[in-house]
Amino acid sequence: MERLPAQPTFIKGAYTLQQLPNDTGVEVAFAGRSNVGKSSTLNTLAGVKSLARTSKTPGRTQEINFFDLGNDRRLVDLPGYGYAKVSEAKQRHWAVTLDEYLLSRESLVGLVLLMDIRHPLKKFDRNMVHWCTHAGLPVYIILNKADKLSRGKANANLLDVKQKLDKFHIDGIQLFSSLNRTGVDEALQKLCDWLGLPYGK
Ligand SMILES: Nc1nc2c(ncn2[C@@H]2O[C@H](COP(=O)(O)OP(=O)(O)OP(=O)(O)O)[C@@H](O)[C@H]2O)c(=O)[nH]1
Ligand SMILES: [Mg+2]
């Protein structure tokens, strides 16, 4: 399968929790540190090049962006965490908003947590995995930008992260690259599973 079986369309960007779309149906959110490739991954999986805005400069996504897949299914592109040049007040706003979103969002069925395969398991990532497993929110890990490493090194890092998260109940972990399409099929399978969409090769 090359892309999701339903074509996503942009619904809206929310800066505050009051602006979120109705909390019905099911949605899957993409989280991770700034610049790990959340928006790019979403675009690759959707099969639409510029659905979510991407950028070489960290801090591109500044709102919680919602994409409609039809039948009350949604994808959610979250703002990146930990970009120093974003003002402290704004970072605090996002930390609180993100916490609240994760805590209260009933339609959220799973979180895709992206990490740069070259720098996995930073403090934010550990906190997120910890939090999700305690809150009972399924978390699936994508080690992104796998094209930046040799296949051997990428697989070694995958194994290492897996082992380090051994005691946590993560839903799965995989390598990914938008550049050479490593792991696209595997990620689509997970998304379809979570969203209740048909999956076919
Ligand atoms: N080599 C490589 N670069 C990638 C990949 N995915 C994303 N990038 C690059 O990483 C940079 C950041 O990508 P974004 O998708 O904007 O990252 P983001 O996580 O949404 O960033 P914020 O919205 O700022 O948090 C861009 O320059 C992308 O081209 C990948 O699989 N491989
Ligand atoms: Mg982004």
Instruction: Read off the pLDDT of residues 128-185 as tens digits, 9 standing for 90 and up.
Output: 999 999 999 999 999 999 999 999 999 999 999 999 999 998 999 999 999 999 999 9
Report yes or no on 200 lying in a domain: no
CATH of the domain at 46: 3.40.50.300
Report yes or no on 2 lying in a domain: no
Q: Which atom of ligand 1 is nearest to the CA of 114?
A: 19
46-71: pLDDT as tens digits: 999 999 888 887 777 778 999 999 99
Report yes or no on 63 lying in a domain: yes
By residue range, what is the domain housing residue 183? 9-195
Nearest CA to ligand 1 atom 6: 37
Burial per residue of 121-157, b for 16 or more beta-carbon CB atoms within 10 angstroms, e otherwise: ebebbeebbeebbeeebbbbbbbbbbbebeeeebeeb
Write down the pTM of the prediction: 0.96
What residue type is 121 in one-letter code? L
Q: Dihedrals φ, ψ of 143, to 5°?
A: -90, 105
Contact between 58 and 80 (Cβ < 8 Å): yes
| pLDDT band per the 50, 70, 90 thresholds, residue 201 | low
Number of domains in the chain: 1
Phi-psi region of 128 (alpha: psi -120 to 50; beta: other; left: phi over 0): alpha
Contact between 143 and 149 (Cβ < 8 Å): no
HSE toward the beta carbon, residue 149, CA cutoff 13 A = 19
Q: How far is the CA of 46 from the centre of ligand 2 (A)?
A: 15
Whether the per-residue pLDDT at 83 is higher than 80: the answer is no
8 lines ligand 1 (CB under 6 A): no
**Whole-number Å distance between alpha carbons of 114 and 105:** 20
Report yes or no on 183 lying in a domain: yes
For residue 179 the two structure tokens come to 């550049």
